[in-house]
Chains A and B, each alone.
Chain A
Amino acid sequence: MSRIAVNLPGLHMKNPVMPASGCFAFGQEYGKLYDLNRLGAICVKAVTVEERRGNPTPRVAETPGGMLNAIGLQNPGLKHVLEHELPWLEKYDTPIVVNIAGYSVEDYMEVAREISKVHNVSAIELNISCPNVKEGGITFGTDAGTAAHLTDKVKSVSDVPVYVKLSPNVTDIVEIATAVEGAGADGLSMINTLLGMRIDLKTGKPILANRTGGLSGAAIKPVAIRMIHDVRQKVDIPIIGMGGIYEVDDILEFMMAGANAVAVGTANFIDPFVCPNLIDQLEDRMDELGIETLSSIVGRSSL
């Protein structure tokens, strides 16, 4: 096995880097720029039963080292994804993770049941943490009991491993993480965006039409590192770490905090080639730091 390969439930990754859900659509745009087989895995945008139109624009605002987004889970719906988006990805031999969302437990179950049957889907990422929709999403992710119940139900219908994507907008993320682990989650994905707001000085009104949005980018990295570190102390299942990864050192820092693989989000918008570039730099940086294999550093901060 290569020294940068990582193995997670359902995900045999040639390297630990995948694009984060919502930042990569269904792969076609970045597939024009480079060979997606370079990636450790591909995590596609959230899928819901019905098509969703998302929030009004403006949907993005900026802050030093970060951006706020309020897309609102816009997606073409389950049927379209099954017929058009996932078949397009068949030409790649890298694992596909599909992020799923819904208004109700039944919605989530329906999407999980259908998506997990698709032969080129390796895992599901259960989105209980989108801060930009009024119903569904985050309402499932802020209470341990509700999150565990949903995880259990989705696990009962899914043919592939389920990674639960956690929200940082909670008092105690460790409580939620342990609850979904207890309910059978195969892994965790953390963190989703932090709820924020920016105001336009000319109008005195929020810049985002949705008023609030999710903060991502370098600004949130220390929050993500702290939360992954805390969760790693209490949870044994694998963690896909994300939140402000821009540089190769960030990957190593997330893994030392306790992540088994990582996802890159906002950085794709700054440099569309960031994922393959980080993968290219990884082994040289490991050599400089005397790291033999990536698996040897996971959770080192806890030791």
Chain B
Amino acid sequence: MAVSRLASSSLSKLLLRPLSAPPFSRHFSAAASDDDWTVLTIETSIPFTGHRIDPPSRSVDTTRKELLSFFRDMARMRRMEISADSLYKAKLIRGFCHLYDGQEAVAIGMEAAITKRDSIITAYRDHCTFLGRGGTLVEVFSELMGRRSGCSKGKGGSMHFYKKEAGFYGGHGIVGAQVPLGCGLAFAQKYSKDETVTFALYGDGAANQGQLFEALNISALWDLPVILVCENNHYGMGTAEWRASKSPAYYKRGDYVPGLKVDGMDVLAVKQACKFAKEHVLKNGPIILEMDTYRYHGHSMSDPGSTYRTRDEISGVRQERDPIERVRKLILTYEMACASELKDIEKEIRKEVDEAIRQAKESPMPDPFELFTNVYVKGYGVEALGADRKEVKAFLP
């Protein structure tokens, strides 16, 4: 990411007040620079809150290039999820489908702070995390539609995206089950002493699963370089956090494990927190990051998302806290680009997404024999397509 290449000579310190609904006064824009690599320092929307740890500074360094890439990447994710929604309704996507729109800043901010050698493991709301790890739109839509060119060869579907070469370990269907796995990944990383870490993501619903606490204890006991990222979108399926959690302060849930509460709608805050967390866990063992975020869609496609919360609440978040709009305002405030340029980016993205969908639709279904492959090393199965018992075959390595 751009941060690693910033030129210290052109450092120019700027502060921005917390972003909110009122428009910005123009005088901020005077300090904007044309230079992609000029470092600006922007203050996060709200301060971090720490648990058993001193929180990092609110001032985050960024550049025009980085902010524009944040805008583009998040807008691409948003558009992708909206299109997945239509494809699902057109019955081109089957299975279960959980959309990430609203939470984009978490995936993007996290990527900005780490490298592809670090590992990420998440639950079933995984499309955007996969895209953040360098996955392509064609792979996403192909996988969603169960096509051969999907990232899991069309065998996984919406909940099971993986990208091994970029350290993306998926894509897990059972609530909370991925977190202990993440601790295992971190143990291997600690063992290999390669200074990499694992980000294990889970939702506020999963935060109440017992296995999470088992994993926490193990990773704290052995000082594993694992960051437990609670993406708190405030609803575990249809149940509001306060109905399901005695303490919705998820960053404090580790008790003996330090925690940090982060505005998950502010991409720069997420970046800052993840950078801080990575340094922390390499030295001291696990930490919990609670990302305060919001999903605009329902839990899954069968949930309209409006029965357990008000429409006003959703539109309120869209107006006040939307992660893309926040970056758009920053870019406009600093005159890094004009509104029409951003509109053009969005138009390009729309084309890009449509083109990816077109290509994905052309990709064929997996071969029928793929039903039997990957069950064991060399595949094992009963070829019982007919009822004739003589055709029953088994293959073992």
Q: Do A and B bind each other?
A: no
